[in-house]
Structure 1
Amino acid sequence: MSVVTMRQLLDSGVHFGHQTRRWNPKMRRFIMTERNGIYIIDLQQSLSYIDRAYDFIKQTVAHGGTILFVGTKKQAQEAIAEQAQRVNMPYVNHRWLGGMLTNFATVSKRVNRMKELEEIDFDDVAGSKYTKKELLLLERELTKLRANLGGIRNMNRTPSMLWVVDTKKEHLAVDEATKLGIPVVAILDTNCDPDEVQYPIPGNDDAIRSVSLLTRVVADAVAEGLMARQGGNKGEAEEPMAEWERELLEGENPTAQAEEAPAEKAEEDGGQAATESK
């Protein structure tokens, strides 16, 4: 049984690609047809690739792996942060800083700097060793560091894999992962290069509902992996699950719930979302 249904993909507009003049010929095999100047992605293939990626993520996490959620475009920021936090995984949803993976030691120093600044009471001018102006500058520095690095504050090593929304926009992240041999799981819209990704999911990377659905499915795979890490693999897991993780995931259903809206309306709504974002 698939972890997501065809109806859900339709309702979320996952099948809408880019305009026909904006495409990568390498994506031809994932395209079913063209409608009103927009490519329509073959959702049967999407379902198959989702199942493949889901199993890979679940197994990797079950054996102690971690996944870094990456999506800095406006349509992805909320879903990336929400789903990554739900399963206690690192994320980048503001800006990818060059060297986040390939120069991880230096980035870790900036994370430590952020944690040091968080120890300062910016409201207590008299009790601090800084002037009011210095405190203002330090607070601005902290705000910037939190935006760029807040999502990876607890990432103590490079991740086992990446989840990427829009590989063209996040090409720096994909390039760094490739250099280090880190597998990439990503949504592939019709303008993307499938050769850059080890676990592609053909789909719409511009519509909020599409991005939210697929990111939630990825987080569900992580949740299943965490449950297996705790005991489902008969002691094979490398790391035990923390108490808070058990409480968080006990009620989780990794299989997404199908919606009731008719598919015809889904295409109409999805088309509007695709038109607005493409």
Structure 2
Amino acid sequence: MTNDNWNISLEKMMEAGVHFGHQARKWNPKMAPYICTERKGIHIIHIIQTARLLHEACEFSTNAASKGKQFLLVGTRYQTAGLIAAAAKKGRCHYVNRKWLGGMLTNWTTIESRLKRFKQLEEQEKNDLFNKLPKKEAAILKTQLNQLRKYLNGIKYMTKIPDVVILIDQHQDTTAIQECIKLGIPTIGLVDTDCDPSLVDMPIPANDDTKTSIEWILNKLIIAIQKGHQRRDKFSKTRR
């Protein structure tokens, strides 16, 4: 089975291990509609359901991107930090891949002030101003810059709360999910068999533990976002 629009192949999904869930004893009963069987104590995800919901998420993402909506990609597990950053840059998305700072969305004015400080320090570094300061003062500023760069680099150009948030690990980033719920921000989320699919607006049942599975799902979403950007860029050119 291959989808004409997004090339969502069940065979490729299985090769990527998208269908492997968690141990059956750790399951969340709300995931029952997305589980097809159990093998050796491991739940197997119904990938036809995954394909259907991924298609819907891709359609939504293309439509949102074509309207200029801003996406935030969240995945703070250490093992996938590089994957998140690469995917976000490819899709022209903002991202958080280190640590979710409490209030990153619900206390946006504070984050804005930190981003302003971040840009100020980067400008000082660029103009070699640190080397003109006493060593102790320069060291304090460099430490501050490194901390801001570590946690805020992926949202450096974010000027407002994002329109859509894509979440890779529900258990790792519960605070991010709760902030999105509070603010009514639409969410797309990978949900493994131990997750609660009701916490995100567009759940995608999939293995959220292996890089191959996460990368496969993310790639489809990023292609969808890119398609939306292309539509918007083409429309802008025709209006000139």
Q: Same fold (TM over 0.5)?
A: yes
Indicate conservation of the 8 Å contact 1:125/1:132, yes or no: no
Separation in 2, partners of 1:22, 1:105: 39
Q: How does 1:125-274 map to 2 (within 5 A)?
A: 128=132, 130-231=133-234
The match for 2:105 among 101, 106, 128 is 101
Do the aligned partners of residues 57 and 136 (structure 1) sit closer, same or farther apart at CA in structure 2, a change above 3 Å counting? same
Is the aligned partner of 1:50 residue 2:20?
Answer: no
Q: Deviation of residue 120 (structure 1)? A: 2.2
Which structure 2 segments of 5+ residues have no match?
A: none
Indicate conservation of the 8 Å contact 1:122/1:135, yes or no: no
Separation in 1, partners of 2:35, 2:185: 27
Do the aligned partners of residues 229 and 125 (structure 1) sit closer, same or farther apart at CA in structure 2, a change above 3 Å counting? closer
Which structure 1 segments of 5+ residues have no match?
A: 241-278
SS at match of 1:56: helix
Q: What amino acid is the match of 1:61? A: A
Do the aligned partners of residues 235 and 170 (structure 1) sit closer, same or farther apart at CA in structure 2, a change above 3 Å counting? farther
Q: Deviation of residue 234 (structure 1)? A: 9.6
Do the aligned partners of residues 127 and 140 (structure 1) sit closer, same or farther apart at CA in structure 2, a change above 3 Å counting? closer
Q: Deviation of residue 230 (structure 1)? A: 1.5
Identity %: 38
SS at match of 1:150: helix
Indicate conservation of the 8 Å contact 1:69/1:89, yes or no: yes
Q: What amino acid is the match of 2:217? A: L
Do the aligned partners of residues 232 and 9 (structure 1) sit closer, same or farther apart at CA in structure 2, a change above 3 Å counting? farther
SS at match of 1:120: helix
TM-score (norm 2): 0.93
Indicate conservation of the 8 Å contact 1:24/1:190, yes or no: yes
Separation in 1, partners of 2:170, 2:130: 49
Indicate conservation of the 8 Å contact 1:76/1:165, yes or no: no
RMSD: 2.1
Q: Which residue of 2 aligns with 1:88?
A: 92
Q: Deviation of residue 87 (structure 1)? A: 2.2
TM-score (norm 1): 0.80
CA displacement, residues 202-256 of structure 1 (integer Å, 9 cap, x when unaligned): 00001011111111111111100101111259979xxx9xxxxxxxxxxxxxxxx
Separation in 1, partners of 2:198, 2:28: 11
Q: Deviation of residue 76 (structure 1)? A: 2.3
The structure in which a higher percent of residues are helix is: 2
Q: How many residues align?
A: 236
Indicate conservation of the 8 Å contact 1:27/1:192, yes or no: yes
Separation in 2, partners of 1:70, 1:162: 7
Q: Deviation of residue 158 (structure 1)? A: 0.7
